[in-house]
Amino acid sequence: MRYIIDRFEGETAVLEEDSGVMRDVPRNRLPAGAKQGDVLTETNGIFSVDTAATKKRTESIQEKIRDLFDGH
């Protein structure tokens, strides 16, 4: 399963599934250093940051913002 960290609410991480469903998970179940916007994968109940997918997602968002403000 794949998720994006939407936000943190105290000790709870709010994750968004690919389907758009939101899921609350205790923050201590996430890898150390996981941050808002990171792409996570879950295998057998263990969460891992997918650094390649996170980088690709971040670059895509930055490109959309540039296009929006540059008028392209």
Name the band, by pLDDT with cuts 50, 70 and 90, for residue 70: confident
| Residue ranges per structural domain of the chain | 2-70
Taking only the tens place, the pLDDT of each residue in 43-67 is 999 999 999 999 999 998 889 998 8
CATH number of the structural domain 2-70: 2.40.50
What pLDDT is attached to residue 72?
A: 56
Percent of the chain exceeding pLDDT 90 equals 82
Cα 10 to Cα 1: distance, rounded to the nearest angstrom: 24
- The pTM score is 0.84
